[in-house]
Chain A
């Protein structure tokens, strides 16, 4: 994976402002290895598209530099970068047929007629649209257009492909199907992909690494599992997956573990990202890591709670309980054999291990 010695794409200290006042990208450092699938994930307006546009050459960085291989890209015009790109609304040329769309990048590269035809055919084959070469984009369904856009970005065999929310316009089923298809094509062709989305499940299924953006900065860059299991800060913990947040003050800290006072309760947690004794911290705890009525002494953190709401979801039950001063504390109770029968308003005990509770920035 990420080969730190020779990154294929490298953003170093990139900044971007459109109006000279607000930095929409702040101090971006990002290394992407050859063949990697990196996703930029973040809320709307966090600067993902801007980063992609700077890489593609449609925006220039205000500060800093972008490298592709051993080329510095800052002064290379877009058409000389050789980067494939899939746009959110596909940007298929409406006046050309599907085959003409695919042939376009090959024709401007002055490929011979026979090579062009062969490559277009192969690309259409790859996205299973061989029968549609003579149609106009307007005569295709959304999913088919998406495939054509993908094929067009790949047909000239770029080493790097950028995709800006390519599945944003598709319905859920089709989106999931296309996620797998894109993933398979990536595995087969081995190109480097930089993918932008604000759908976290999409990011989690597809990526080698995910860069979580917020407010023009990368909050965390990590493989999907790490991002979920080991969020670095409260934003990432909150943004990826479901999360219980408990706000408290660090009472004791030995560098790896700490004790946090939350609403008068002492909670043992893993020290990840707080400012030491006396500082405010956010405890992050995944709902599925909370055990209901644990055996005495099995867990370091056990507290009384009252069940406020129960939602039956088949494979598990979502329980909203009140504990440690938090009324919105969620517990996922697996629908296992012989599970407890819960009722609204009953008193229960909730417990969790020290490792599952991460003390992050406030």
Chain B
């Protein structure tokens, strides 16, 4: 007993006298460093190709430097304007001076593009004013500017400039949600004809849910078969399931077109059997139907694999036990087997859903006009309209939505319950 209290008081040391804790820390530090070195390449890659772009995207969605960069003096003076009537003379003077500065030409061009998002007409107004501003060399500048274009005499134009001047803005987000600032800085709905994104988001979610459900319904029996078949046959079937992964997207797209188009195999067959007549051929491609069929096809392996990996671990003894306890095969399946596959259903569903919600290439190829999803519009703003701020805001909302769904899923099903393979 006495000996025990003695050792408890003493610091434990290794044979050479270093305290044990220190030695232990040194030993684990080496392991930690090795582990870090092993993950470092991947970490760097993820950082460069994933984290940094996302941060950049998030920054871009609120970044608003254009007006500041083009007419800093005017903006500074405009800050004190109370928003009634027209700004005072010095503002006009600064504007005339800054617009006539030839070295700022490209900044002013960008400001025109930026202001155009708020109100189309700004681009031509600025182009015109820029060309003629150097003629307004002396006061009164107000009248001089209004003489160039009567729009400079409108309160709303000045208000828009004032509102768009700060170096960060939420207007891209508002735009992405079909909202905008009115001239008093209140948030209002876009005019009816400009409201497209909310509808698109909702549509994207519905399509993703639909694809998810279609994948689940089609995959469950296949996964069950895979899990119960003897290994040799099971592997062959698994290869067939994975085949979509291994064929090029273009080959697949072509085959969908061959199958689904109005004069395609399926329509021809249906007409030939007599189910539909020649005049009523079904439109199955270049619309939403095409998008859903193609996406279901592509995403199905992401549902089959998690389901399969969960089902494989369910011992046949559970079903046997249920049968021996008096349950008929259907009751045994529904009450004993299916609940145990929930982790697989959850994992597959969330995978398919998240992939579907950001799917771009398939809708672009076979979606036609009405089969386009939100990601197609993000791509449009990235590549065609070059409104990167709006593209970034749309992307950020999509990201937030996916994270929110993931959180919800975690609350309901539990991520620990998810089995990816």
Interface residues of A (CB under 8 A from B): 56-58, 77-79, 81-85, 87, 89, 91-95, 104-105, 108-109, 152-153, 156
Contact = CB atoms under 8 A, between A and B. Distances in A.
B326 A87 contact: no
B340 A94 contact: yes
B277 interface: no
A92 B340 CA distance: 12
A153 B336 CA distance: 16
B339 A87 contact: no
A78 B325 CA distance: 9
Given A95-B339, A95-B340, A156 B326 contact: yes
A231 to B, nearest CB: 34
B322 A104 contact: yes
Among A91, A105, A152, A156, max chain B CB count under 10 A is at A91
Which one of A58, A77, A79 has the greatest number of beta carbons of chain B within 10 Å? A79
Contacts of A85: 320-321, 324
A108 B342 CA distance: 22
Nearest to A87: B317
Nearest to B316: A58
Interface string B162-182: 000000000000000000000
Contacts of B322: 93, 104
A104 B325 contact: yes
Interface of B: 315, 317-318, 320-329, 331-332, 335-336, 339-340, 342
Nearest to A155: B325
Given A85-B321, A87-B321, A108-B331, A93 B326 contact: no
Nearest to A104: B325
A78 B323 contact: yes
Given A87-B320, A91-B318, A79 B335 contact: no
A89 B328 contact: no
A163 B192 CA distance: 72
A91 B323 contact: no
A79 B320 contact: no
A89 B326 contact: no
Given A104-B322, A104-B335, A79 B317 contact: no
Nearest to A82: B326
A156 B317 contact: no
Contacts of B315: 89, 91
Given A89-B317, A95-B339, A104-B335, A56 B326 contact: no
Nearest to A152: B325
B328 A79 contact: yes
Contact of B327 (A79, A84, A89): A79
A138 to B, nearest CB: 12
Contacts of B320: 56, 58, 78, 85, 87, 91
Given A56-B320, A78-B324, A93-B340, 18 more contacts: A58-B320, A79-B323, A79-B329, A84-B324, A84-B325, A85-B320, A87-B317, A89-B315, A91-B315, A91-B317, A91-B318, A91-B320, A95-B339, A108-B325, A108-B328, A153-B325, A156-B325, A156-B326
9 contacts: A57-B323, A77-B328, A87-B317, A91-B318, A95-B342, A104-B327, A108-B327, A153-B325, A156-B325
A93 B324 contact: no
Contacts of A152: 325
Nearest to B336: A93
Nearest to A93: B336
Contacts of B339: 95
A83 B324 contact: yes
B329 to A, nearest CB: 8
A153 B320 CA distance: 12
- Which of A77, A87, A89 has the largest number of chain B CB atoms within 10 A? A87
A36 B325 CA distance: 21
Contacts of B340: 93-95
Interface centre among B315, B317, B321, B326 (most CB of A within 10 A): B326
A68 B235 CA distance: 41
Nearest to B332: A79
Contacts of B323: 57-58, 77-79
A185 B46 CA distance: 62
A81 B323 CA distance: 10
Contact of B324 (A79, A95, A109): A79
Contacts of A58: 320, 323
A81 B342 CA distance: 30
Contacts of A109: 326
A93 B327 contact: no
A21 B231 CA distance: 21
Contacts of B335: 104
A338 to B, nearest CB: 46
A93 B323 CA distance: 12
B96 to A, nearest CB: 76
Contacts of A82: 326
Nearest to B328: A79
A85 B327 CA distance: 13
A91 B326 contact: no
Contact of A105 (B318, B326, B328, B329): B326
A155 to B, nearest CB: 9
A248 B290 CA distance: 85
Nearest to B331: A108
B217 to A, nearest CB: 22
A120 to B, nearest CB: 13
Contacts of A57: 323-324
A104 B322 CA distance: 8
A273 to B, nearest CB: 38
A349 B321 CA distance: 58
Nearest to B342: A95
Contacts of A95: 339-340, 342
A25 B302 CA distance: 44
Residue of A81, A85, A152 with most chain B CB atoms under a 10 A cut-off = A85
* Nearest 8 interchain pairs by C-beta: A105-B325, A91-B321, A91-B317, A85-B324, A78-B323, A95-B339, A108-B327, A108-B326
Nearest to B339: A95
Max chain B CB contacts within 10 Å: which of A56, A58, A89?
Answer: A58
A137 B97 CA distance: 81
A341 B322 CA distance: 61
A93 B328 contact: no
Given A87-B317, A89-B317, A91-B317, A79 B336 contact: no
Contacts of A91: 315, 317-318, 320-321
A105 B342 CA distance: 23
A89 B327 CA distance: 20
A61 to B, nearest CB: 17
Residue picked from B324, B325, B326, B336, most chain A C-beta under 10 Å: B325
Contacts of B324: 56-57, 78-79, 81, 83-85, 153
A152 B322 CA distance: 11
Contacts of A105: 325-327
B123 to A, nearest CB: 63
Contacts of B336: 93
Give the most central of B321, B329, B335: most A CB within 10 Å: B321
